[in-house]
């Protein structure tokens, strides 16, 4: 097992960093073509197509499309059946996630000008949203909470979950989380066919207004394709952690924090920035020692070898500069006074401050969402939040007096753009 | 000239409405292929490709890529040169748009729990954004204001404008609006090549973090393609207005309001919903009488014939239901007590309330943004706003005491998901 060691002071560091960060997310044309056919087929043939694709890709044949639905009782039964410790932890996590997200609620606002003209914005929840939850090997109940809770807090009218059940096998934890989060209806379908059903609706699955949640390449391609018909969240890339450490956190903690990202998959990225060469050596030793104890050691080793790095920086200020260049999904500030560095940090999905704030606490239960912008998109994108499940309508009520003022501004501008009906429409409201 | 008259009470109304609303926004594969090649070429060859495409598509050959830049002095000169009435109107519009958008600013927030754990969200402006402004025939200074002002209010570090100048011809109004809105740098390039330059950067044009603004099919396809590398705003469809009128607004006003949308292009959509058959007849007569006086009468006639309708409804409640189904970009509530109907209206880009609130006042100067969700996307999308130029980072600082509580929640959940490094990372922070 080897993780690369870099030093910002060495020639060629910039190129080495660029190479490390390069990740070709090019869409596979073959996947796109397959997905286009599936989406069109489900749009046209509805349930019949949905059942066929489920039989083909998930290797089980539902008696009918209605048999794809999980009843609320089935969800509740799963919730009662899971181990007590897990159920209690899920409930505590859900409470904390709910409380945090309530701070994100937007309200309608308006103001009235002197002449009686009112301007404002009406904020409303989406009517119905779809949540895609991966099934099979990577079944994450925490993702159910993180997608459903913000929608619930926003006041979305109906939350529809889809989750593939390869071979017909259901995951109790996922069903329990759906029950706890208040998912309204759930269907055991997945892949591009599930996304198509949510976007266009079938006889059994109602069309939604927005689809969120992670998935494989087919799911991602399907979401891109239906974008515009429905809203979607970001298409996620591989998960990333960047740890900035001053060298005073136990090296084992830092090594395990890097592992916790690397264990997701072979293309996940875990990077340490530290000004202390001796500490970097310690972390390297911790990695060597702890790796064999990890059940997912092969994935971790591959991830660290492929895309990991321990980077020696001149100082913490330089670490912040590099962090802004990386715009990481997860940023751990494992330093003595993390608040002092916040103003320097312009781009990150989530910032974990202080030695006790392991990323995994944020993944499950601190409160903030774990759906975060990846692949440098934190430059312009935000964590999944309540704001993703609310929308705004501008409100304009121009008074008779206001129409006199505004008409005289609009008219010359409309004439300047050659839009004479626009001008006339404003001018007709003028008194003379 | 004929505009279709429908009645919700007639058999087949639902189908007729569906047909009326149907708009195939399928992407043209030929456009996609051409755009893919242009984007890749600009990404690889930078300025050289940019100059070549400009020569080919805009029919003028800049001396070099640096000659594509408009200096701040050139923008200011245009601003000084335009007619006084237009300049004053632009300034008044900019003031009102700025004032409205200041209400949309989000601030960072955080809260501290009893055990010292801090949770919050840091809100920051984007570093650099690109604004695409169409050139040639449809040159709209108001669009420059509507795209640049929210970015400016958000505190974006640098605003880059691109505008094609076919045949080398510059539009003074567009340049003046750019000066007024505080655009930092401007380049006379357009099409897919301009979008590619903004997304990937060239020797001359700096890479941005997000691209907004309207454009033709090539621009739209290019924005879709670079989505993920940079953020983009919605890809806009044809413009739409839905007028709900109780029959007591002057019929000429309503006819002109419908024209003001129809004059944009032949596939724009203008629809009236009214419970009063006699008033619908009046509006039809107004349309016949006023149409010949319009410079863009051919476009208006085609738009109304293709996609327009005057629809008789049972009552205003039914009108609201239909409006929710349409989810219009612009919704005029030309009724006696517009506020009374607001709670019934779930989806609209902007709501224009009362007889004096013509849509054109909102387009230019009322204050709210005129970049609005089209093609039913108001079900999930919002007007362009300051929030599109701000982003959020979650803040988590778990105290030593908090790590004891949270670690005991995270650990069983991580074990439940089979992510043992996640569990260990939390457990290492536990005291025992």
| Same domain as B121, residue B51 | yes
Q: Catalytic: A76?
A: no
Among chain A residues, the shortest Cα distance to B362 is held by A396
In a domain, residue B402? The reply is yes
In this structure, are residues A385 and A400 in contact, taking their beta carbons and an 8 Å threshold? no
Where does the pLDDT of residue B234 fall: very low under 50, low under 70, confident under 90, or very high at 90 and above? confident
Average pLDDT over residues B183-197: 97
Name the binding residues of A for substrate: 239, 261, 264, 330, 363, 417, 422
pLDDT in the model for residue A428? 97
Q: Catalytic: A330?
A: yes
Q: Which positions in chain B touch A364 (Cβ < 8 Å)?
A: 406, 409-410, 413-414, 422, 426
The interface predicted TM-score of the complex, written ipTM, equals 0.95
pLDDT of residue B190 exceeding 90, the answer is: yes
In a domain, residue B217? The reply is yes
Where does the pLDDT of residue B32 fall: very low under 50, low under 70, confident under 90, or very high at 90 and above? confident
pLDDT in the model for residue A432? 75
In this structure, are residues B362 and B370 in contact, taking their beta carbons and an 8 Å threshold? yes
Q: Whose CA is closest to A346, among A381, A320, A368?
A: A320
Tell me if A109 and B118 make a contact (CB, 8 A cut-off). Answer: no
- The Cα of A284 is separated from the nearest Cα of chain B by a number of Å equal to 16
B406: nearest CB among A366, A372, A429: A366
Q: Whose CA is closest to B28, among B224, B291, B278?
A: B224
In a domain, residue A376? The reply is no
% of chain A with per-residue pLDDT over 90? 89
CATH value at residue B142: 3.40.50.1980
Q: Which positions in chain B touch A235 (Cβ < 8 Å)?
A: 228
Total-model pTM: 0.95
| Same domain as A44, residue A8 | no
pLDDT in the model for residue B143? 94
pLDDT in the model for residue A335? 98
With residue A283 as reference, give the H or E element that holds it. Answer: helix A277-290
Please list, residue by residue across A284-314, b when 16 or more beta carbons sit within 10 angstroms of its beta carbon and e when fewer do. bebbeebbeebebbebbbbbbeebbbbbbbe
| Highest mean pLDDT, choosing among A123-137, A300-314, B223-237 | A300-314
Final residue before a domain boundary, out of A365, A382, A416 = A365
B349: nearest CB among A235, A345, A394: A394
Q: Tens of pLDDT along B390-413?
A: 999 999 999 999 999 999 999 999
pLDDT of residue A25 exceeding 80, the answer is: no
| Maximal C-alpha separation, chain A | 86
Across A26-40, A68-82, A112-126, A362-376, least confident range? A26-40
HSE toward the beta carbon, residue A350, CA cutoff 13 A? 27
Distance of CA A274 to the CA centre of its chain: 28
| Same domain as B412, residue B279 | no
Q: Where would I find the H helices in A59-115?
A: 72-81, 84-102
In a domain, residue A318? The reply is yes
| Same domain as B146, residue B226 | yes
| Same domain as B145, residue B52 | yes
| Same domain as B36, residue B114 | yes
pLDDT of residue B300 exceeding 80, the answer is: yes
pLDDT of residue A2 exceeding 90, the answer is: no
pLDDT in the model for residue B1? 66
| Same domain as A189, residue A72 | yes
Measured between its terminal Cα atoms, the distance across chain B in Å is 83
Distance, CA of A24 to CA of A348 (rounded, Å): 20
Angle between helices B251-262 and B277-290 (to 10 degrees): 60
| Same domain as B421, residue B275 | no
Among chain A residues, the shortest Cα distance to B25 is held by A228
pLDDT in the model for residue B30? 87
| Same domain as A34, residue A20 | no
- The Cα of A337 is separated from the nearest Cα of chain B by a number of Å equal to 11
Q: Whose CA is closest to B237, among B309, B163, B329?
A: B329
pLDDT in the model for residue A215? 87
Average pLDDT over residues B80-91: 96
Average pLDDT over residues B77-90: 96
What pairing do the DSSP bridges indicate for beta strands B185-187 and B210-212? unpaired
Q: Which positions in chain A touch B416 (Cβ < 8 Å)?
A: 82, 86, 141, 173
Tell me if A398 and B361 make a contact (CB, 8 A cut-off). Answer: yes
pLDDT of residue A186 exceeding 90, the answer is: yes
pLDDT of residue A22 exceeding 90, the answer is: no
Tell me if B409 and A93 make a contact (CB, 8 A cut-off). Answer: yes
Q: Tens of pLDDT along B109-146?
A: 999 999 999 999 999 999 999 999 988 766 799 999 99
Final residue before a domain boundary, out of A365, A381, A409 = A365
| Same domain as A278, residue A310 | yes
| Same domain as A65, residue A18 | no
Please list, residue by residue across A49-87, b when 16 or more beta carbons sit within 10 angstroms of its beta carbon and e when fewer do. bbbebbeebbeeebeebeebbbeeebbeebbeebeeebb
Final residue before a domain boundary, out of B176, B201, B230 = B230
With residue B244 as reference, give the H or E element that holds it. Answer: strand B240-245
Number of CB pairs, chain A paired with chain B, less than 8 A apart: 381
In a domain, residue B392? The reply is no
Tell me if A117 and B378 make a contact (CB, 8 A cut-off). Answer: no
Q: Tens of pLDDT along A138-147?
A: 678 999 999 9
Q: Which of B101, B240, B263, B330 is catalytic?
A: B330
Candidates B146, B410, B430: best to mutate against A (most CBs of A within 10 A) is B410
- The Cα of A275 is separated from the nearest Cα of chain B by a number of Å equal to 22
pLDDT of residue A400 exceeding 80, the answer is: yes
Distance, CA of B200 to CA of B40 (rounded, Å): 10
pLDDT of residue A26 exceeding 70, the answer is: no
Could you give the 3-state DSSP secondary structure of residue B70? strand
pLDDT of residue B24 exceeding 90, the answer is: no
Tell me the DSSP string of B280-293.
HHHHHHHHHHHGGG
Assign residue A418 a region (left: φ > 0; alpha: ψ between -120 and 50; beta: otherwise).
left
A361: nearest CB among B339, B400, B407: B407
With residue A123 as reference, give the H or E element that holds it. Answer: strand A118-125
Where does the pLDDT of residue B304 fall: very low under 50, low under 70, confident under 90, or very high at 90 and above? very high
Total number of domains constituting chain B? 3
Where does the pLDDT of residue A1 fall: very low under 50, low under 70, confident under 90, or very high at 90 and above? low
Tell me if A425 and B253 make a contact (CB, 8 A cut-off). Answer: yes
Average pLDDT over residues B334-358: 97
Work out the angle at residue A325's Cα, subtended by the Cα atoms of residues A324 and A331, and round it to the nearest 5 degrees.
50
Distances (CA, A) of A1 to A284, A302, A303, B235, B371: 10, 8, 10, 46, 53
pLDDT in the model for residue A424? 97
Tell me the DSSP string of B364-391.
HTSSS-S----TTGGGT---S-GGGGEE
In a domain, residue B144? The reply is yes
In a domain, residue A169? The reply is yes
% of chain B with per-residue pLDDT over 70? 98
% of chain A with per-residue pLDDT over 70? 98
Q: Which positions in chain B touch A243 (Cβ < 8 Å)?
A: none
Return all residues near A230 (Cβ < 8 A) that are at least 6 apart: A130, A198, A199, A207, A208, A209, A210, A211, B380
pLDDT of residue B28 exceeding 80, the answer is: no
pLDDT in the model for residue B23? 76
Among chain B residues, the shortest Cα distance to A392 is held by B382
In a domain, residue A149? The reply is yes
pLDDT of residue A23 exceeding 80, the answer is: no
With residue A395 as reference, give the H or E element that holds it. Answer: strand A390-397
Length of chain B: 432
| Same domain as A164, residue A104 | yes
Q: Which of A101, A200, A330, A347 is catalytic?
A: A330
Q: Which of B282, B329, B332, B359 is catalytic?
A: B329
Q: What residue numbers bound the domain in which B174 lies?
A: 27-230
pLDDT, chain B, mean = 95
């Amino acid at each position: 097992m080897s993780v690369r060691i870099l030093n910002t002071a060495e020639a060629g560091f910039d190129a080495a960093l660029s190479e490390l960060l390069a990740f070709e997310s090019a869409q596979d044309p073959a996947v796109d073509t397959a997905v286009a056919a599936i989406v069109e087929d489900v749009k046209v043939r509805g349930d019949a197509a949905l059942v066929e694709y489920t039989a083909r890709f998930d290797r089980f044949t539902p008696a009918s499309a209605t048999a794809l639905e999980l009843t609320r009782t089935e969800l509740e039964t799963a919730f009662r059946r899971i181990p007590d410790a897990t159920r209690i932890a899920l409930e505590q996590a859900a409470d904390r996630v709910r409380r945090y997200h309530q701070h994100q609620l937007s309200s309608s606002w308006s103001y009235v000008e002197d002449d009686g003209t009112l301007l404002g914005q009406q904020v409303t929840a989406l009517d119905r949203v779809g949540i895609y939850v991966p099934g099979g090997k990577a079944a994450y109940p925490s993702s159910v909470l993180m997608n459903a809770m913000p929608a619930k807090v926003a006041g979305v009218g109906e939350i529809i979950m889809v989750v593939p059940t390869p071979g017909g096998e259901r995951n109790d934890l996922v069903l329990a989380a759906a029950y706890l989060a208040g998912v309204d209806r759930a269907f055991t379908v997945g892949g591009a066919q599930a996304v198509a059903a949510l976007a266009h609706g079938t006889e059994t699955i109602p069309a939604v207004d927005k689809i969120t949640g992670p998935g494989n390449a087919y799911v991602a391609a399907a979401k891109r394709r239906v974008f515009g018909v429905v809203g979607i969240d970001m298409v996620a890339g591989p998960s990333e952690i960047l740890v900035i450490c001053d060298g005073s956190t136990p090296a084992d903690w830092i090594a395990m924090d890097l592992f916790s990202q690397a264990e997701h998959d072979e293309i996940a990225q875990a990077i340490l920035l530290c000004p202390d060469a001796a500490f970097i050596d310690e972390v390297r030793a911790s990695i060597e020692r702890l790796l064999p104890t990890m059940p997912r050691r092969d994935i971790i080793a591959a991830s660290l070898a492929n895309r990991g790095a321990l980077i020696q920086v001149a100082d913490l200020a330089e670490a912040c500069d590099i962090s802004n260049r990386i715009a990481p999904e997860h940023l751990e500030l494992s330093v003595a006074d993390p608040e002092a560095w916040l103003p320097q940090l312009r781009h990150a999905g989530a910032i974990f401050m202080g030695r006790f704030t392991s990323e995994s606490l944020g993944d499950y239960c601190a409160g903030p969402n774990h759906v975060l912008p990846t692949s440098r998109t934190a430059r312009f994108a935000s964590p999944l939040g309540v704001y993703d499940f609310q929308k705004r309508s501008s409100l304009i009520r121009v008074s008779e007096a206001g129409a006199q003022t505004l008409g005289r501004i609009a008219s010359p501008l409309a004439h300047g753009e050659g839009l004479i009906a626009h001008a006339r429409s404003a001018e007709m409201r003028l008194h003379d």
